[in-house]
């Protein structure tokens, strides 16, 4: 049948300009059983395409399944239904093409920052010597120059999370999945980390899938903000954010920024919870 | 400022320890001088010191030298410890990684754990004879269990987020063990090893009591048979000092291997 289709579709009619999304999420569904035997419907037919180099944030009330969705994309948790396509090919399980940054930095206390950052290289059995140089460059990019040989316990929370971002980027993944990476930081550090992350993103242009429950963080960082409803989580809003880059903290006090965050808060409120 | 306090604390620490030791020796000497406890029950500190000096200054080739026996005891303790610790960590890893191994091993572990393990010393002598073999085996058996139990607990308590990090990288089971589970379990493993080294010496001495040709346990039973109580005391001092050295070496190893752990830092500061 496919050969027939190929025959019926001459090459000249193909659309070479249409880019294949880096990641296509197609009708991802997740149900699981609790210990008491009740079935929970966590995610309800989530579909979204991530374009190359796009920064997409997901907002949603607590417990709506945002983290579950990220774990499914990372291949840590299997979906109950639906498919994932990475650059057009169906995938299941973890992929080397993805880097993950978790809520906590998850740095290993027995390794230096440099060794921690190189963990994916060791696991993927890539050439350590050549990536060591790259690790130093990335650490410089996130402002951790001079801390290569420090141990995680000697770093502040913000520095630890920056090291975790470098670890997520080191093997040059197509997509960076970030699960509320700044959720545990204080408000001031968090704002600074947002500016930092934008700078890192502008210089690496990775596709980023960013989960947060902060509306202003989502708008400040993203090209596109998705809103998830309360359980069962489904996408209820998809807003394009077109403020020019680089954006700075002053943007947050503009009327346009306020309109957008107000709208998103309204959608969030309608979905069952009010957030900052 | 804090350094000054710390060093003055350290100085008073040393003073208190020395005064306490001196007072103990004095009370002991007074008890011997002013009561009529016979010397085969409680020898004087002086005679214990004499026995100690005699045992330690003799040539290590003489049978009456402490060194002649201590070398044998120490060797059996260290080999037994190394064998027991290696097996303990290995079995713990297999049991933590494979459900089948754990369940299959469970009756043996529980059975041996409920047994007073020194009670198998006569059996080991029957199997392995009066040489070093039975001593090493006893030391290894006694080391094995605390290491096994602690290492298992360590492998099991791997934080979930570290496992998810490795899972996202599609790491193999061996990689998860090597990079995450094993180093993460080291503080617990060292807790087991610290008990293990003490047990290893205990096992060696018990085995030497049961029957051996050389060793501190052997010389002590010989001294006992001729009521050389001062000699027995001197042997106990030697064993105590040896034990202290072994424990100190373990602490150093722990500080080197688990320098990053909060609990290690606290333990060593004490």
Chain A neighbors of B170, CB-CB under 8 A: 75, 93-96, 123
pLDDT digits (tens, 9 = 90+) for B5-53: 666 788 889 999 999 999 999 999 998 888 888 888 889 999 999 999 9
Q: Is the peptide bond before A232 cis (omega within 30 degrees of 0)?
A: yes
For chain B, say whether A150 makes contact (Cβ under 8 Å): no
How far A179 CA lies from chain B's nearest CA (Å)?
A: 12
pLDDT digits (tens, 9 = 90+) for B199-251: 999 999 999 998 888 999 999 999 999 989 999 999 999 999 999 999 999 99
CB neighbours (10 Å) of residue B241? 12
Pairing outcome for strands A89-91 and A224-228:
unpaired
pLDDT band of B263, cuts 50, 70, 90: low
DSSP string computed for B142-199: HHHHHHHHHHHHHHHT--HHHHHHHHHTT--HHHHIIIIIHHHHHHHHHHHHHHHHHH
pLDDT digits (tens, 9 = 90+) for A25-73: 888 888 888 888 888 888 888 889 998 889 999 998 887 788 899 999 9
Q: Greatest CA span in chain A, whole angstroms?
A: 64
Task: Tell which residue, A193, A195, A192, A225, has the closest CA to residue A208.
Answer: A225
DSSP letter for A62, please: T
Q: Are A92 and B242 in contact (CB under 8 A)?
A: no
Residue found under tokens 């010397």: B39
- Which residues of chain B are at the A interface, by a Cβ-Cβ cutoff of 8 Å? 161-162, 164-171, 175, 179-180, 183-184, 186, 258, 260-261
For chain B, say whether A91 makes contact (Cβ under 8 Å): no
Q: Are A231 and A39 in contact (CB under 8 A)?
A: no
- How far is residue A245's CA from residue A247's CA, in Å, rounded to a whole number? 5
CB neighbours (10 Å) of residue A112? 18
Task: Tell which residue, B13, B38, B31, B25, has the closest CA to residue B237.
Answer: B25
pLDDT band of B266, cuts 50, 70, 90: low
What pLDDT score was predicted for residue B84?
A: 97
pLDDT band of B96, cuts 50, 70, 90: very high
Q: Are A49 and A27 in contact (CB under 8 A)?
A: no
**ipTM given for this complex:** 0.84
The stretches in chain A having pLDDT less than 50 are: 1-16, 273-276
Q: Is the pLDDT of residue B267 over 60?
A: no
What pLDDT score was predicted for residue A9?
A: 44
Question: Which residues neighbour A67 within 8 Å (Cβ) at sequence distance 6 or greater?
Answer: A103, A179, A180, A211
Task: Tell which residue, B150, B149, B158, B154, has the closest CA to residue B105.
Answer: B149
pLDDT digits (tens, 9 = 90+) for B103-154: 999 898 888 888 888 888 888 888 998 888 999 999 999 999 999 999 999 9
For chain B, say whether A95 makes contact (Cβ under 8 Å): yes
Residue from the list B162, B169, B175 with its beta carbon closest to the beta carbon of A94: B169
pLDDT digits (tens, 9 = 90+) for B146-191: 999 999 999 999 999 999 999 999 999 999 999 999 999 999 999 9
Q: Are B189 and B151 in contact (CB under 8 A)?
A: yes
φ, ψ (nearest 5 deg) of residue B214:
-140, 160
CA angle B100, B176, A153 (to 5 degrees): 130
What pLDDT score was predicted for residue A13?
A: 45
Q: Are B234 and B48 in contact (CB under 8 A)?
A: yes
Residue ranges per structural domain of chain B = 1-36, 43-269
Task: Tell which residue, B181, B146, B157, B154, has the closest CA to residue B167.
Answer: B181
Q: What is the CATH number of domain B43-269?
A: 1.10.3720.10
Please, what is the angle between helix B216-225 and helix B66-97, to 10°? 130
What pLDDT score was predicted for residue A63?
A: 77
What pLDDT score was predicted for residue B270?
A: 46
Q: How many CA atoms lie within 13 A of A65 on its CB side?
A: 26
pLDDT band of B265, cuts 50, 70, 90: low
Whether residue B167 and residue A106 make contact (CB cut-off 8 A), yes or no, is no
Give the C-alpha distances (Å, rounded to integers) separating A224 from A68, A204, A264, B61: 20, 18, 12, 84
DSSP letter for A12, please: G
Structural tokens at position B110: 């529980």
Q: Which one of B162, B167, B169 would you mutate to disrupt binding with A, by most A Cβ within 10 Å of its Cβ? A: B169
Residue from the list A71, A98, A153 with its beta carbon closest to the beta carbon of B260: A153
């Amino acid at each position: 049948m496919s050969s027939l289709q190929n025959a019926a579709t001459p090459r000249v009619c193909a659309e070479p300009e249409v880019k294949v999304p880096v990641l296509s999420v197609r009708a991802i569904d997740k149900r699981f059983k609790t210990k008491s035997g009740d079935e929970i419907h966590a995610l309800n037919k989530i579909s979204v395409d991530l374009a190359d180099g796009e920064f997409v944030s997901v907002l949603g009330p607590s417990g709506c399944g945002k983290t579950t969705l990220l774990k499914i994309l990372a291949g840590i948790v299997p979906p109950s239904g639906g498919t994932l396509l990475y650059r057009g090919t169906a995938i299941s399980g973890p992929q080397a093409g993805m880097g993950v940054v978790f809520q906590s930095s998850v740095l290993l206390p027995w390794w230096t920052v440099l060794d921690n950052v190189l963990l994916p290289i060791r696991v993927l059995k890539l050439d350590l010597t050549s990536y060591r140089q790259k690790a130093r460059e990335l650490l410089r990019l996130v402002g951790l120059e001079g801390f290569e040989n420090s141990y995680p316990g000697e770093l502040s929370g913000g520095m630890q999370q920056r090291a975790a971002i470098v670890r997520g980027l080191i093997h040059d993944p197509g997509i960076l999945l970030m699960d509320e990476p700044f959720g545990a930081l204080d408000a001031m550090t968090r704002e600074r980390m947002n500016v930092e992350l934008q700078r890192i993103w502008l210089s690496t242009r990775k596709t980023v899938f960013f989960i947060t429950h902060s509306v202003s963080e989502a708008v400040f960082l993203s090209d596109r903000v998705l809103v998830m409803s309360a359980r069962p989580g489904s996408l209820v809003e998809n807003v394009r954010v077109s403020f020019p880059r680089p954006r700075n903290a002053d943007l947050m006090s503009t009327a346009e920024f306020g309109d957008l965050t107000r709208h998103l808060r309204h959608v969030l409120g309608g979905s069952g919870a009010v957030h900052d | 400022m804090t350094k000054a306090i710390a060093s003055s604390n350290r100085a008073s620490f040393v003073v208190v320890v020395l005064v306490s030791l001196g007072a103990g020796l004095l009370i002991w000497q007074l008890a011997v001088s002013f009561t009529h406890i016979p010397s085969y029950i409680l020898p004087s500190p002086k005679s214990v010191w004499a026995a100690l000096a005699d045992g330690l200054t003799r040539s290590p080739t003489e049978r009456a030298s402490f060194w002649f026996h201590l070398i044998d005891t120490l060797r059996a303790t260290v080999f037994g410890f190394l064998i027991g610790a290696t097996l303990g960590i290995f079995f713990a890893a297999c049991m933590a990684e494979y459900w089948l191994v754990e369940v299959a091993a469970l009756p043996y572990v529980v059975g041996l754990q409920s047994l007073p393990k020194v009670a198998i010393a006569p059996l080991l002598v029957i199997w392995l004879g009066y040489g070093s073999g039975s001593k090493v085996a006893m030391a290894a058996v006694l080391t094995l269990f605390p290491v096994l139990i602690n290492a298992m607990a360590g492998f099991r308590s791997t934080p979930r987020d570290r496992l998810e990090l490795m899972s996202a990288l599609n790491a193999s089971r061996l990689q998860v063990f090597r990079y995450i589970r094993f180093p993460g379990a080291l503080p617990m493993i060292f807790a087991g090893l610290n008990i293990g080294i003490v047990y290893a010496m205990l096992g060696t001495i018990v085995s030497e009591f049961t029957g051996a040709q050389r060793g501190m346990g052997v010389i002590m039973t010989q001294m006992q048979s001729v009521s050389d109580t001062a000699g027995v005391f001197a042997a106990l001092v030697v064993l105590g000092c040896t034990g202290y050295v072994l424990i100190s070496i373990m602490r150093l190893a722990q500080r080197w291997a688990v320098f990053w752990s909060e609990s290690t830092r606290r333990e060593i500061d004490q």
